[in-house]
Amino acid sequence: MRLREIAERYGNFALKGVNLALVVAAVVGFSTWATAANDADAKTAEQIAAAKRAASRGPYANDGVYEGSAKGYGGTVTMRVTIADGYIDKVEQVDVGHEDEAWLKMCQGIPDKIVKAQSPDVDTVSGATFTSTGMINAVKKAIAAEEKGQ
Amino acid sequence: MMAASNAPTAKSSVQGARRRCPKAQRRKARLRNRRILRLGVQVLFFVLAPGLFSGALSGVKYIAGNIGGLQPVELTSFVLLLIALVASTVALGRFFCGYACAFGLLGDVVYGVSSKLRSLLRIPQLPFPAPLVRGLQLVKYAILTAICVLCFFGAYDAAASCSPWTAFASLIAGSTEGVRSAAFILLGIVVCAMMLRERFFCQFLCPMGALFALLPVLPFSSLDRDSRNCPRSCGQCRKRCPVSIWPERGRFGAGECIDCGACALGCPIDNIGVVRIEQRPARRKPRLLLTGTGWGTVIVKALLLLLACWLVGALRFVPSPAELLPFGLPWMLS
Instruction: Report CB contact under 8 Å: B215, A37.
Output: no
Which residues of chain A are within 8 Å of residue B71 when distances are taken between CB atoms? 34, 38
Residues 6+ apart with CB under 8 A from A68: A78, A79, A81, A137, A138, A139, A140, A141, A142, A143, A144, A145
State which of A14-28, A38-52, B258-272 shows the largest mean pLDDT. Answer: A14-28
Of the candidates B98, B69, B123, the one whose C-alpha atom is nearest the C-alpha of residue B264 is: B98
| Cα(B46)–Cα(B280) distance, integer angstroms | 46
Q: How far apart are CA B160 and CA B151, in angstroms?
A: 10
Interface probe for B, chosen from A6, A12, A107, A129 (most Cβ of B below 10 Å), is A12
Q: Flag if B219 and A11 touch (Cβ within 8 Å).
A: no
> What is the mean predicted confidence (pLDDT) over B75-89?
92
Q: Is B151 exposed, middle or buried (0-12, 13-18, 19+ CB in 10 A)?
A: buried
Q: Mutating which of B71, B79, B141, B278 best tests the A interface, going by the most A Cβ atoms within 10 A?
A: B71
**CB contact, 8 Å: A43 with chain B?**
no
Residues 6+ apart with CB under 8 A from B147: B57, B60, B61, B64, B156, B207
If we measure between CA atoms, which residue out of B290, B288, B324 comes closest to residue B307? B324
For residue B1, is pLDDT > 50?
A: no
> Residue B53: is its pLDDT beyond 80?
yes
Of B70, B86, B251, the CB nearest to A34: B70
pLDDT of residue B94: 94
Would you say residue B334 has pLDDT above 50?
no
Mean pLDDT of chain A: 86
**CB-based contact, A129 to chain B, within 8 Å:** no
* More confident site: B128 or A100: B128
Q: Which residue has the higher pLDDT, A128 or B142?
A: B142
ipTM metric: 0.81
- Scanning A23-42 for CB atoms below 8 A from B yields 27, 30-32, 34-35, 37-38
User: By the 8 A CB rule, do A108 and A35 touch?
Assistant: no
Q: Report which listed range, A38-52, A109-123, B13-27, B88-102, is most confident.
A: B88-102
Distance in angstroms (rounded) separating the CA atoms of residues B97 and B100: 6
Rounded Cα distance, B191 and B200, in Å = 9
Q: How far, in Å, CA of B245 to CA of B123, rounded?
A: 25
Alpha helix ranges (H) inside chain A: 2-55, 101-106, 110-117, 129-148
Residue B9's pLDDT is 56
**DSSP-derived secondary structure for B72-139:** -----HHHHHHHHHHHHHHHH-THIIIII-HHHHHHHHHHHHHHHHHHHTTPPPPP--HHHHHHHHHH
A10 interfaces chain B, CB cutoff of 8 Å: yes
Q: Which A positions 88-127 lie with beta carbon below 8 A of chain B?
A: 126-127
- Region A52-63: mean pLDDT is 83
Nearest CA in chain B to A35: B72
Question: B301 in helix, strand or coil?
Answer: helix
Put simply, whether B250 touches A (Cβ < 8 Å) is: yes
Chain B interface test: which of A4, A15, A18, A30 (most B C-beta within 10 Å): A30
At A70-104, the pLDDT tens digits run 988 778 889 999 998 888 888 998 888 777 767 77
Q: What is the pLDDT of residue A46?
A: 85
- The percent of residues above 90 in pLDDT, for chain A, comes to 35
How sure is the predictor about A18, in pLDDT bands with cuts at 50, 70 and 90?
Answer: very high
Residue B2 has pLDDT above 50, yes or no: no
Look up residue B330 and give its amino acid: P
Nearest CB to A17; choose among B74, B216, B254 = B216
Q: Which of A21-35, A96-110, B63-77 has the highest mean pLDDT?
A: A21-35
Give the pLDDT band of residue B317 (cuts 50, 70, 90).
Answer: confident
Q: State pLDDT tens for residues B173-231.
A: 777 776 778 888 989 999 999 999 989 999 999 999 999 999 999 988 988 888 888 88
- Mean pLDDT for B8-34 is 73
Distance CA A96, CA A90 (A): 17
Across the interface, whether the CB atoms of B214 and A17 are under 8 A apart is answered no
> Is B81 in contact with B312 (CB distance < 8 Å)?
yes
